[in-house]
A and B are shown apart, each in its own frame.
Chain A
Amino acid sequence: MRDNLAVRWWTPVSLRAVASFGWISLMIALFMCAVSWMRGDDAGLTTALMVVIANSVIVFILPEDVPARPVPEKFALFLVSGASMTVLSLSYIIHRSDSSVGLTLVDYWTAAPSMLVGAAAVIAASRSSRWFMGKASTEEALNGLARSRKHSGAIIQTAKQIVLIHLGIFAILPPLWTVMLSLSPGNSLSMDFSISTATLEHYEKMWGSERFWGWFWNSIIVSVATTIFGLTIAFPAAYGFSRYRFYGRKIGLFMFLIVQMFPGALILVPYFIVMKGLGLLNTYAGLVVAYSVTALPLCVWLMKGFFDTIPRELEEAARVDGCSQMQIFSRIIFPLSLPAVAVTCLFSFLAAWNEYLLALTFLSDTDRYTLPVGLASMVSSAQAGDSYWGDFAAASILISIPVVLLFITFQRYLVDGMVAGAVKG
């Protein structure tokens, strides 16, 4: 019984490994097709498509368990596809090396996986010929199962790590490009980065630039003021909604929920007119008020949710002991809700720090620009793109580092807060 089971469920671990890695090479081969198409390289595209076909055969053809009857055709297909994958990707490389631009990193990267997986498929299949033919003995099956158990974890882990490396590169490529751009000499887009010519000139320029620091301080002033002002309004409101059951409470709470759904564009035009009428264009106050209102609903909901978890009995006990309302606030509620207050502050601050549309609409004076509007104006050229790209990159890196660190440190809270219905930053 045990022996039969072993025979039935056994697949050679090498074949499984080929199938696992085959998925990755298939994805990369598809990318190879896309790249060839984008280059307008028809011959390359044909080769790449054939690699995809051969690769799909390997991925999709493997029988899950031992064949009930000999499957020489699958065995043959495995060998042929594997061999053709290797040959085709090799010919792709040769074809590309003949092209006018020569071989690039992308060519190696797209061709190498298919080459390796193809070769591995040939080797694995030829070593598993007995399995394909249904001739494997019980002893072989038991050994194979043992090997499977021993190695499959590592194989899957490796495959996953390879996928993650690609994902990580995808995630990090634009920031990496910005870092390289900021270190390259010249202010143009067509950078030619190398370690030997790397320069800190853009960083020095931005660090010493009055304009940059002006924008920076504008952003700091607006963001800090927004945080403080927003909190002063939202804190009591959240407390009121959490602690008191007054008539109209539900309507009020619902109002705070639906305003988050209002489109910014709907408010923008009247906002602009009202702000203009009140003389608040081009002022910090206008932005602070606008940002505070935008962040208000989220702040109120976040803090109300937290206050709900603080037992009422604490306050009642304090009141019995003769604490005034102010003392209850400062001695009990505030210290207890400090984490929620911190998260709320972080939200208001980041929302104001990263906001672009309102700042763009309200500010027309370059000296009043906040960082988003200011930085965007540095590369606002309609020309071929030769604006201040190097300087922009350096400034972006300087600004992003603290923000990214904040995100990494507080990611849990930020994710939870966003899910709670934040405005996307």
Chain B
Amino acid sequence: MRGQTAGITAAALLALLLLSSSTAQAAPTPVTEMSIDGDVDLNNRVRYAFQTVPESVKYDIYYSDESFNNLSEIVPTASSVAGFPDAWIFVSEDQADDPSIQETLKFFRCWWSTTIIPETLATDFQIEEGWSEPTFSTGMPVIPPDATSVVCDLPGIVRGQQVYVATVAIDEDGSSVTEGLEVLSAITTAESERPPDPDMTRVYIAIGVIVGGLCLTALVLYFLSPSRRERSGYLFVLPAILLLATLTFYPVGYGIYLSFTDESAENYGEGEFIGLDNYELLFSDERDYDGDGDPGFWRTFTFTLIWTFGCVIMHMLLGVLFAMLLESGIIGKVAWRTILLIPWAVPGYISVIMWRGMLNRFGWVNGILTSDIDYLGLDSWAKFSVIFVNIWMGFSFMTMTTSGALAGIPRDMYEAANIDGVGRYHRFRHLTLPQLMPALVPLSLLGMIWTFNLFHVIFLMTGGGPDRFYGEPGVTDILVTFVYDIAFIDGEYGLGAAWSVIIFLMLIVFSTAYLVVTKAGEVDG
């Protein structure tokens, strides 16, 4: 995940619009020259630049929903905390990264230089000479005192809403100058001010061909059909088949095609065929931003497997255990069943956000346990937390299904076993388990497919974070959440499609196993 904020309010396409820039200039001027420009990054970021002020030790950047002339007029945006800056930049000679803070907090991108602010910020100006990346302290950039221009990609701006931004320079005494604030506004929107939509005739033609072809096939089959009675079946199933073909099989095919093109949000609709380049890029050093020799694929893949198997195995274990408890003649079975149903019944996204709040460093879990652990901010704890939450969300469904299967086991088998003096373990191993297996095996395979594809738990919990390095998957990113980042935050559709195809190939393994085990492929005659 690129940055916590970036992920949380995702943006599909973005354009920036320079709307107004009030120029009330009164001495002393805090920040002399600023500009704001667009089409930067394909997420909810706004690229923003300002000229530094001598003697400053810190620059506070404020967002507001309304235009403002001094800090008390700020109307905090959805992501702001009243009275606090949304981002800040330190000025310091000490250019060392804060060792206690992980790289992962650097969601705030920034560059500094001793030159002037470039004409337009939309270009790749930062690759030109004179531009450097800052070091970080407490997740915020640190620039040297001799920097004169600063450009940053402001995170956490909700798309489609106008936001007003101002920078306040803070001097050594900690006092800030709020008069004569230069407030710039930006709006991040999905479509406005984008180049006109590309030619979609290809898509129309493809859909037309599919619909026409299928209709024609149906027509031919209809008239060739030997049985006058049975052939009406075609008329009944045709609409469903058409829908499935145009909106599932065609997109899948199109996705596979996309993975061989360099289609992205910028040259959208005009992607060119580039062969297997995307697949090479998946494993190439070009995308290895943190220089650990892995562009993130294997790391993500490993965690995806841990996530999938960890969750499914725990679901199975707890499900069987709790179901046996439920079915062992307890008082108030219906009431307990209803209570245990709740984790499954609460809408998934609500559960995830509830847990996110509880596991927050200042949340309830730390409060109850009187511990102080940043469950979602530390690598291992974040991994543990997402798996734990998914176990909480999934165990009750497994309990329900398993208790249904258990109830179907004939009682007299147990009575016979009791008379023969069979021990508890053997009763489970040789009686219960074999009876449960036909239900458990397909369920666990299905569970694996679901968990492998489960997007919203990780996306809403950690957004894939803690982040490792800009451009690399976060610590808790699984394959599907990282594909989302590539496609909709980077806007690299082709590359995203290549990842998707790889995921698809992996899923085929699970799916084939499922089809073989359940014999579901052998539809009835």
Interface set of A (CB-CB < 8 Å, partner B): 35, 38-40, 101, 104-106, 157, 160-161, 163-164, 167-168, 170-172, 174-175, 177-178, 181, 189-191, 233-234, 236-237, 239-241, 243-250, 252-259, 261-274, 276-278, 281-282, 289-290, 292-293, 296-297, 300, 308, 353-354, 356-357, 360-361, 364-366, 372, 375-389, 392, 396, 399-400, 403-404, 406-408, 411, 415-416, 418-419, 421, 423-425
Which of A246, A269, A278 has a CB less than 8 Å from the CB of B231? A246
B387 surroundings in chain A (CB, below 8 A): none
A364 surroundings in chain B (CB, below 8 A): 11-12, 159-160, 189-191
Q: Interface majority SS on A: helix, strand, loop or mixed?
A: helix
A400 surroundings in chain B (CB, below 8 A): 345-347, 350
> Are B349 and A174 neighbours in the complex by a CB distance under 8 Å?
no
> Are B254 and A270 neighbours in the complex by a CB distance under 8 Å?
yes
Which of A191, A269, A273, A375 has a CB less than 8 Å from the CB of B350? A375
Question: Which 10 residue pairs spanning A and B have beta carbons closest together?
Answer: A240-B236, A244-B233, A407-B345, A277-B200, A237-B240, A364-B190, A270-B251, A382-B5, A380-B8, A261-B511
* With known contacts A104-B370, A375-B350, A387-B79, A171–B233 Cβ distance under 8 A: no
* Interface residues as binary, B443-474 with A (CB distance below 8 Å gives 1, 0 otherwise): 10010011011111001100000000000000
22 A-B pairs, CB-CB below 8 angstroms?
A38-B371, A38-B373, A171-B340, A174-B354, A177-B358, A233-B240, A245-B233, A262-B248, A262-B252, A265-B500, A267-B251, A268-B500, A269-B493, A270-B252, A356-B459, A357-B456, A377-B158, A379-B357, A382-B79, A382-B156, A415-B404, A418-B401
Give min CB distance, B300 to chain A, whole Å: 12
A297, closest chain B residue (CB): B244
A217 to B200, CA, bound (A): 32
A169, closest chain B residue (CB): B339
Give min CB distance, A99 to chain B, whole Å: 8
B497 at interface (Cβ–Cβ under 8 A)? yes
B524 surroundings in chain A (CB, below 8 A): 308
A253 to B524, CA, bound (A): 10
> Are A290 and B247 neighbours in the complex by a CB distance under 8 Å?
yes
B30 at interface (Cβ–Cβ under 8 A)? no
* Chain B interface category by residue count: 35 or more
- Of residues 127 through 177 on chain B, the ones whose CB sits less than 8 Å from some CB of chain A are 155-156, 158-161
Interface set of B (CB-CB < 8 Å, partner A): 3-5, 8-12, 78-81, 84, 86, 107, 155-156, 158-161, 189-191, 197, 200, 203-204, 221, 225, 227, 229-237, 239-241, 243-244, 247-252, 254-255, 258, 268-269, 322, 325, 328, 330-332, 336-351, 353-358, 360-364, 367-373, 392, 396-397, 400-401, 404, 439, 443, 446, 449-450, 452-456, 459-460, 479-480, 483-484, 487-488, 493, 496-497, 499-501, 503-504, 507-508, 510-511, 514-515, 520-521, 523-524
A256 to B240, CA, bound (A): 10
Give min CB distance, B430 to chain A, whole Å: 19
Which of B234, B240, B446 has a CB less than 8 Å from the CB of A234? B240
* With known contacts A39-B371, A164-B325, A267-B255, A189–B455 Cβ distance under 8 A: no
A177 surroundings in chain B (CB, below 8 A): 354, 357-358, 364
A383 to B396, CA, bound (A): 33
A257 surroundings in chain B (CB, below 8 A): 515, 520-521, 523
